[in-house]
Structure 1
C-alpha cells in the first residue's frame, strides 16, 4: 500500500519500546524509549487527538536526526507513525512505516495509515479480550480433585482456540460426587459464554435437588433445561451433556446422557462397556425430558467420559470404536490424560478436547 520496506507495531512503557511485530527491521525485541521517534508519536496523540499521525518526510531535517536508527548506514530517512490506544483511551503504542529515503504521503495514503492503525488496534484489543476470556474460563474449571478415598480421578479440558465450548465440572454431594462433561455447539467466545450459563444452571439445579434430599439427576437436568431453553432457542444452539453422580461408598453410578454418546466403563478384566443412551441434546426439542440410567463401578474399573474432540485426536472423527480402544489401553486416569495431552501437542485439534476418567481402586 505504501511501497515502504519496513513496518512495525509496538508498545511503549516508561523506559522501552517493545516491538510486537516488525517487518524489514533487524531488532532484538526492544529499544530504549529515549532512542525512538515513537515517543513523540505518543505525545502527539495527547496534544493533537484530531490529527495524531506524526509524519517526518526527511528525518535528517527533524529533531531526531541524531538517533542511532537514523544515523546508521541504511538508516531511517522517512517515518510515519500513528498512535495505538489502550482500553482507557490513552496512547500506549504505535503503528509505523519507515523508508531508507525521504518521501511524501498523499492524502489517500495518510487516511490509509490511520485505517491500518485502527485495524491493528482492534486486533490487539480482540486478542486481549480473548486472553481475558480464556483466563476466566480456566478459572471456572474446578480445582484438581484431591483426596477421594477409594478412587483416582483425572480430568482435562483443552480448547481448540483461546476459549471453547467444552467444560467439565465436579463437586461433592451428600453421598458422593457429581461429575459433568458438556459440549456447547460451536467454538470460540460465543460458545464459551453459553458454557458458563449451562455450568451455572446445572450446578444450581443439582445442588438444589441434593439439598431437597431427592438427589434426582433427571430432575436436575430437566430443571436446567427449563432455565436455559430460551437462551438456547435465541442463540440457535444446543448442548450435549453427560451428567453423573458417583456414590462413593459402593461405586454405584447414576447418569444422564443428553446426546453426548461418548462414555464407557473399562472393566478391570479388560472389557469395555459403552454407556449408550438415546437421549437428545438439550435444545433440540422444546418439550424434551431425560431419564436416569445406572451402572456399577467394580474395584479396578475406570469410567471415562470424553467430548467428541477426542475422536478427532485419535481417529478421523468418526471411529468411536477406535477411540474406545484407545481409552481401554490406559485404564489409569493420569496415564490416559497424559497420552491425550501428548497427542494434542503433536496434532493441534480442530475441536475442543475434554476428558474425565474415574477409577475405583482395588482394595486389599
Structure 2
C-alpha cells in the first residue's frame, strides 16, 4: 500500500478504520445482548400474547411454521411457539435468524437451495427440507435487533408487495409486545369509573364482568349496552404505556359506544378507521371482541386478533370462537367480518383477556381452566367471583378482564 493509501486507511489518531469498526460492532453487540437480557424472556414458558402472533402469521401466509425468536450471545431461543418434547434453544450460528439480525429490514429467501448463505445448512439438506424463509428483525430502538419474527416453508415461495407489507406490520406487532415487557406496568384503569354496572340484557340472560388492572392503571376494558332485542358488549386489551394506555382505551371505548346498533364487523372496521392514527402515533394497538346477542340466542361477533372467547355448551363441550382479523391499529384500512353462532339455553359465553390466562399456565390451554370455573355452577356473578379469588392468590403481570354471559335454561 502507498503512503497515501496507508494514510487514508487510518484515523487521525493513527488507529486502523477496520479496528475501529470492529470495536464499534463489538460494543453494539454487547448492548444488543444486554437488551435481550433486559427483556427477561429467554428460557420462559409459552405466552398466548406471543403465540397469537405466530398463529395469525401461519394463517395469513399459509405456511407451516411461524416463530418469534430471541438471540443472545450464544443461543437462539424460540419464544413462540414452544413444542412439547423439543428444545426451544439452538446455537445461533445454526439459524437463519442469526443472519436476519445482522442488518435492518426484511430478509426473504425464496429458495434456500439457491442461496449460498443457507444451501449448505443442515436444516436445508436434512429431512427438515427448509426451502422458503422470511425474517423480520425485532428491535428495541437504537438499532438493537434482539430477535426475529420468521415464517418458514418446505416449498419455495415468493412474497408479493402486499404480503411484504403485512409481514412488516406483523413484525411491528411483535415488537410492541416485546416493548411492553420493558414497561410492564403500562395499561390504565382511567376508565374504571366507566365500567358498566347492572344488567343490560333481557331476562333471558344473566351477565357479569370484571376488569382488574395490574398496577394503578390498566389498559383493558369491557362495556355493554342494552339494545331493542338484546345487548351489545365489547372486551378489549389496549396496548400502551402508563396513562397513555388509559387514554387510548377510553378513546376506543367511546368509539364503540357511539356506534351501538350497527353490523358488528362494520363497527370494528369503522372504529379502526377512527382510532388507527392515534394508536399508530403512540405505537399501540388493541385486540378485542365486539358482539351482539339477541333474545333468541343468536350471537353476532367480530374478533380483532383476540381469540379468547369460549362457549361452554350444555353437554360440557367447550367451543373457542375464531378470530376474524388483525388487532385494530395495525392496518389503517383493515376490514373485519361478522361471524354468527348461537348460545343455547343453559350455555355460557366467556370473553377474557391475557391476564385471565396468567391465572393458569399462560397458554390457550388455560381456557379449559376457565371452562371448569363455569361448570362449577352458580351463574356469571359466581364465576367472576371465582376468577377474582384466584387472582388474589397469585402474582399477576398483566391486566385481567372477563365478561361472562349465561342464557337461562
What secondary structure does 1:220 align onto? helix
Shift of 1:269: 1.7
**Match in the other structure for 1:305:** 351
What secondary structure does 1:313 align onto? coil
Answer yes or no: is the 8 Å Cα contact 1:315–1:322 preserved in 2: no
Consecutive unaligned residues of structure 2, counting only runs of 5 or more, are 1-184
**Match in the other structure for 1:265:** 311
Cα distance, 1:314–1:329 mapped onto 2, change above 3 Å: farther
Consecutive unaligned residues of structure 1, counting only runs of 5 or more, are 1-129
Shift of 1:187: 5.1
Match of 1:338 among 385, 388, 403: 385
CA RMSD of aligned residues (A): 2.0
Shift of 1:326: 3.5
What secondary structure does 2:210 align onto? strand
What secondary structure does 1:257 align onto? strand
Name the count of aligned residue pairs. 222
Answer yes or no: is the 8 Å Cα contact 1:160–1:352 preserved in 2: yes
Q: Report the TM-score, using the length of structure 1 for normalisation.
A: 0.58
Q: Distance in 1 between matches of 2:299 and 2:399?
A: 26
Q: Report the TM-score, using the length of structure 2 for normalisation.
A: 0.51
Shift of 1:287: 2.0
Answer yes or no: is the 8 Å Cα contact 1:266–1:272 preserved in 2: yes
Cα distance, 1:277–1:327 mapped onto 2, change above 3 Å: farther
Q: Distance in 2 between matches of 1:222 and 1:147?
A: 25
Q: Distance in 1 between matches of 2:293 and 2:216?
A: 32
Shift of 1:140: 1.1
Write out aligned runs for 1:1-364 (5 A).
Answer: 134=189, 136-145=190-199, 148-186=202-240, 188-204=242-258, 206-207=259-260, 210=261, 215-248=262-295, 250-317=296-363, 319-330=365-376, 332-362=379-409
Shift of 1:324: 4.5
Q: Distance in 2 between matches of 1:220 and 1:147?
A: 20
What secondary structure does 2:350 align onto? strand
| Larger deviation, residues 251-260 vs 143-152 | 143-152
Q: 1:263-312 CA distances to partner (integer Å, 9 max, x unpaired)?
A: 01101121111102241101122321000000101100101100111111
Q: Distance in 2 between matches of 1:263 and 1:321?
A: 9
Q: Distance in 2 between matches of 1:272 and 1:187?
A: 34
Structure of greater Rg: 1
**Match in the other structure for 1:18:** none
Q: Distance in 2 between matches of 1:357 and 1:323?
A: 14
What secondary structure does 1:240 align onto? strand
Q: Distance in 1 between matches of 2:297 and 2:238?
A: 29
Q: Distance in 2 between matches of 1:335 and 1:145?
A: 15
Shift of 1:195: 0.3
Shift of 1:146: 6.0
Shift of 1:262: 0.3
Answer yes or no: is the 8 Å Cα contact 2:304–2:327 preserved in 1: yes
Q: 1:22-81 CA distances to partner (integer Å, 9 max, x unpaired)?
A: xxxxxxxxxxxxxxxxxxxxxxxxxxxxxxxxxxxxxxxxxxxxxxxxxxxxxxxxxxxx
Shift of 1:217: 1.1
Answer yes or no: is the 8 Å Cα contact 1:156–1:356 preserved in 2: yes
